[in-house]
Amino acid sequence: MDIAQHIPSFFFTVVAMALLFLAVSSVRGGFEKKEKAKKIAANPELGEPVTDAEKRTVEEWLDEQALPYTGLSVVDEAPDDLIASHIGGGAAAPRDGKWPLDKSGQPMLLLAQINLGELSLPHEFPKQGVLQFFIQSDDLFGLNFDDPTDSDSKVLWYPDSKILEIELRSEHDFKEDYSPFNKAEYWSEGRKLKLTSSSNMRPEWGVWFVEEKVNQYYDRAGGEDMLEELFEEFEYEAHRLGGHPSFTQSDPRGYGNYEDYNRVLLQIGCDDFIMFGDSGECTFFITEADLRARNFDNVLYNWDCC
């Protein structure tokens, strides 16, 4: 009796694929070992295990790079105050205010409104007034991949919230593919933002200057485990002002002349209410000089996702 005749053909396919995977993995593993051996031969220090003293050095350096931040979380309630901090919804404006338009003349999307006077903010931020963040409502949410400083986004600052007397609403309809909000009501009604914490934040591994500093340890014995341990110790709120950015992919400042954009004006992560692409991160960067000068016309807007 030929048992093989009674075994479904897909079983052989699965077995074949598994064997192929093991073979490829074995070849890849052997290649990686050879490459690592070459690196160690060219750089003998790579063969030396990472020491506790080096770990303390990295940890102390990360502490030195820490920046103050204010963490925010979304509350599942529509804002009930004109100048309240919120995502989505309407925007507070002066009596003669008009809803911002993108470069093509279409209404923009209000990402967030921040009442600075109701938060405990990093010292470089204004202590009063209202900040509003607008982005283009298209498939890329206005991002210019070639030059994120030229993206279709806008930041408005009203130093005196007393001049904000009316609420403006966007004129276009909700389009799921052109909005980071998870439901139409989050976009149309808005959802409150509340303060969750205010502290100092170390930079994460993905920040461009951190990679340059710590990647020298990665290929060394125990280096990968050391770095993972250091960076997994700290978790920060998905939404925040100040501090350091988070990325799903990579830091755009490491691929152009954007190193001066060293302050996070606003970070929007992902939660039940908002998400850029697949578990994406959105950041508005500003230079320290512009932040201190209260110049919000020159920002670097970026988002990425899995």
- Series of mean pLDDT values for 10-residue runs along the chain (306 residues): 48 48 51 55 66 95 95 97 97 97 94 94 93 95 95 97 95 84 94 94 94 91 93 86 94 93 97 94 97 97 95
**Single-letter amino acid, residue 39:** K
- Give 28-84 as a DSSP string: HHHHHHHHHHHHHHH-GGGGSPPPHHHHHHHHHHHHHT-EEEEEEEEESS---STT-
17 burial (CB, 10 Å; 0-12 / 13-18 / 19+) is exposed
Look at residue 7 in the predicted model and tell me its pLDDT: 46
- Sequence-distant (≥ 6) Cβ neighbours of residue 292 within 8 angstroms: 124
Residue ranges per structural domain of the chain = 1-42, 63-205+226-304
Give the CATH fold of the 63-205+226-304 domain. Answer: Hypothetical protein YwqG fold (2.30.320)
Strand, helix or coil for residue 133: strand
Question: Do 82 and 167 form a contact (C-beta atoms < 8 A)?
Answer: yes
Question: How far apart, in whole angstroms, are the C-alpha atoms of residue 295 and residue 306?
Answer: 32
